[in-house]
Amino acid sequence: MLDGCIINAGLAVVSAPLRLLWPRFPGLASALGIAFSFAVSLLYAAALEWLWRGQTLGKRVLGLRVVDAHGLPLTPGQVLTRNLLRVVDALPFFYLVGGAACLVSRREQRLGDRAAATVVVETREASIPDISAWQTSRYNSFRQAPHLALRLRQTTSPEEAGLVLEALARRAQLDTAVRERLYAQLAEHFQERVPFPAEIADALSPEQYLRNLAGILFARQPLGATAKPGPASTSDAQ
C-alpha cells in the first residue's frame, strides 16, 4: 500500500511534463501517459527490488527485504516472477488471494513468492555490538568471596549466563520499570542459588549485582585476583 502511494505520487509528478506536450500533441501525450503509467505500475517494484537487493521504498521504510529462500542473491527471473504474478495475488480485490496464500504458508509466502522461491524478511541492522555492556575489568565485590564466586560459575548453566548478558545488553531498550523488575527478579534468582554475604549483596543495586555476576561468569581474570575499587558506573547514578 505504501509503495502504491509512492507510485501514484511519482506518476503525478512525471505527468506534469506530459501536460506541456498536450496542446501540440494531445494524442501522443495521452499515449505516453498511458504507457508510462502502465510500465511503472508493472515494473516499479521489480526494478527497485533488483537494484536495491530486494527492497522498494516502502520496504525500506518498513524494514523489510525480499530474499531468496535459500539465502542466495535474487536473480532477475525471481524478481520479475514475484512482482508480475501480483496480478493473481491481487485477485479478486485487495490482495485477497495473496493474503490467503500467506496465511496458509509456513513461510508466509504469497503465490508470487512461492513461484519465485523467495521470502520477505525483516531487515536487521547488523553492527558489532558495544561490548562495554559486559565490561568485566572494573572492581567486582564478588571477588571478596572467591569460593562463592567459583560455586556460582560452576552452578550457572550457559543458558542462564546468556540470559544475564542479554538482559544487560538490552538495557537501553527496556522501560525503566520493566528493567528494574527484571533485574530484581534475576538478582533474586541467583542470590537464592548462591547467597553472597549481606555486606556484599545488600550494598548492590540489582543492576550492579548482575554486572558483578557477568564479571564472574565471563571474566578471564582468575577468581583469586581483586582489582582496586574504581569510579561508580553511570548506571548506578540513574
Partner 1 sequence: MILDLERFALQGQPAWRRLESLLDRLAARPARDLSAAEAEELEDLYHRACLDLRRLDRGVYSGDLYRYLEVLVARAYAEIYAPPRRFSWTWRTWGARLLAFFRYAPRVFRRHLRWFGLAVGLTLAGIALGGLAVTFDPAAVPVLLPASYLSNPAQRVSVEEHGLHRMTPTVETEFSAELITHNIQVSLLTLALGVTLGIGTGLLLFTNGLMLGAVAARYWQQGFGWFVAGWLLPHGAFEIPSILIAGQAGFLLAQLLAAGGREPRWRRLRERLPEVWTLFGALCCMLVWAGLMEAFFSQHHAPEIAYSTKAAVGLSELVLLTLYLSLVGRGTPYKEDA
Alpha-carbon gap, residue 186 to 37, rounded angstroms = 59
Q: How far is the CB of 198 from partner 1 (least distance, A)?
A: 27
111 lies in the binding site for partner 1 (CB under 8 A): yes
Distances (CA, A) of 24 to 16, 20, 30: 15, 8, 12
Residue 63 has φ and ψ, to the nearest 5°, of: 70, 40
Helix (H), strand (E) counts: the chain: 13, 2
219 lies in the binding site for partner 1 (CB under 8 A): yes
116 lies in the binding site for partner 1 (CB under 8 A): yes
Residue placing its CB nearer to partner 1 in the complex, 205 or 221: 221
Residue placing its CB nearer to partner 1 in the complex, 76 or 197: 76
- Span of 2-10, 107-115, 138-146, 176-184 interacting with partner 1 by CB under 8 A: 107-115
Residue placing its CB nearer to partner 1 in the complex, 167 or 187: 167
Residue placing its CB nearer to partner 1 in the complex, 199 or 222: 222
C-alpha cell at 26: 494531445
Name 91's Cβ contacts closer than 8 Å, sequence gap at least 6: 97
Residue placing its CB nearer to partner 1 in the complex, 99 or 197: 99
Q: Using the rule CB under 8 A, which residue among 92, 158, 222, 224 binds partner 1?
A: 158
Q: Using the rule CB under 8 A, which residue among 23, 73, 222, 231 binds partner 1?
A: 73
Residue placing its CB nearer to partner 1 in the complex, 131 or 198: 131
Q: Which amino acid is at 32?
A: L
Q: How far is the CB of 67 from partner 1 (least distance, A)?
A: 8
Q: Of all helices (H) and strands (E), which one includes residue 67?
A: strand 64-68
Q: Which of 142, 97, 135, 125 is nearest to 234 (CA)?
A: 135
Residue placing its CB nearer to partner 1 in the complex, 135 or 191: 135
Site string for partner 1, 199-218 (x = CB under 8 A): ------------------xx
Q: How far is the CB of 162 from partner 1 (least distance, A)?
A: 4
Q: Residue 25: how many CB atoms within 10 A of its CB?
A: 12
Distances (CA, A) of 50 to 47, 74, 79, 80, 101: 5, 7, 7, 9, 24
Site string for partner 1, 22-61 (x = CB under 8 A): ----xxx-xxx-xx--x---x----------x--------
Residue with the three cell numbers 496542446: 23
Q: Using the rule CB under 8 A, which residue among 78, 109, 141, 208 binds partner 1?
A: 78
Alpha-carbon gap, residue 216 to 55, rounded angstroms = 44
